[in-house]
Amino acid sequence: MTLAPLPHRIAARRQETGDVWTLALEPEGPGLPAFAPGQFAMLHAFGAGEVPISISAGLERPAPLHHTVRAAGTVTSALCDLREGAYVGVRGPYGRAWPVAEAEGRDVVIVAGGIGLAPLRPVIHHVLAHRERFGRLALAYGSRSPADLLFRDELAAWRARPDIDVAVTVDRATPAWRGRVGVVTTVLPPPAVDPAGAVAFLCGPEVMMRFAAAALRDAGLPGTAIHVSLERNMVCAVGHCGHCQLRELFVCKDGPVFCHDEVAALLRRREL
């Protein structure tokens, strides 16, 4: 925990929704090692504190790190208020990544809810960058409302591609919305993929992941092929502060990505 953050600068910032910003961070010195999809960094807002944020793009150095942050608490609000050029301390990469290598040769199902699309975006980038190594790719993305959709330009670009099947659904429609209305389980399993041989990566509210995993298991995906990214309170990111425990698991270092079989029983227990 006394691990010191490395100084970075905000090279660019982009507003995704009313309260979500994506920050592109460049190191002032040598920078951090490469991140894998699903790993996270501790971002330090000077004077406010640190917060764990998954990488949402920019796995390899020297490309800037991209982190997508929702202004929800003191530190995340401070980060979203910073301007280009401002200091952000970064340490990482931390945590277990999405097992993308395991998905090679198989169909890939991405199930995202709300801000949960951010940690999954690098998986989509990775599969699209090495398209021949994977089977069919389907994204099921549930959002509260059309205004809460992240990465809208990119979503439109993905929709236009023949090699990714995109289903977006919102819980609350606006009159102008012409897409699907309903929870994300209504678009599971994606018709394009063969559930028996597919690998699924899920990130979103825990309730959503519980039901999405159940829908995928009902469709024939084994629990070993379903991976979820969990959220718990994290202060240190290295298993020292004790906050992120889920019984015997430290979400920060044993996760945040877990195979559904590892955690399904724990997630059913209340207040564990």
Q: Cβ 221 to other proteins, closest distance in Å?
A: 18
Closest-CA residue to 212 (of 125, 135, 129, 141):
141
**Of 128 and 192, which CB lies nearer to other proteins in the complex structure?**
192
CA angle (66, 85, 57) in 5-degree steps: 5
**Of 60 and 83, which CB lies nearer to other proteins in the complex structure?**
83
Q: Cβ 31 to other proteins, closest distance in Å?
A: 16
Task: Find all residues with CB under 8 Å of 156, minimum gap 6, and list them.
Answer: none
**Of 125 and 211, which CB lies nearer to other proteins in the complex structure?**
211
Q: Cβ 207 to other proteins, closest distance in Å?
A: 6
Q: Cβ 104 to other proteins, closest distance in Å?
A: 27
Q: How far apart are CA 123 and CA 250, in angstroms?
A: 23
Please say whether the dihedral angle defined by the alpha carbons of residues 150, 151, 156 and 158, taken in this order, is positive or negative. negative
**Of 135 and 146, which CB lies nearer to other proteins in the complex structure?**
146
**Of 122 and 146, which CB lies nearer to other proteins in the complex structure?**
146
Q: Cβ 66 to other proteins, closest distance in Å?
A: 18
Q: How far apart are CA 150 and CA 145, in angstroms?
A: 11
Q: Can you give the three-state secondary structure of 182-201, one letter per residue?
A: CCHHHHCCCCCCCHHHCEEE
C-alpha distance from residue 150 to each of 37, 144, 156, 176 (Å): 17, 11, 11, 17
Q: Cβ 38 to other proteins, closest distance in Å?
A: 15
**Of 13 and 232, which CB lies nearer to other proteins in the complex structure?**
232
Q: Cβ 5 to other proteins, closest distance in Å?
A: 8
| Binding footprint of other proteins on the chain (CB under 8 A) | 1-5, 7, 19, 28, 46-50, 70, 72-73, 85-87, 89, 113-116, 142-144, 148, 169, 171, 173, 175, 177-183, 185-186, 204-208, 211, 231-233, 235-236, 238-243, 245, 247-248, 250, 253, 269-272
**Of 84 and 131, which CB lies nearer to other proteins in the complex structure?**
84
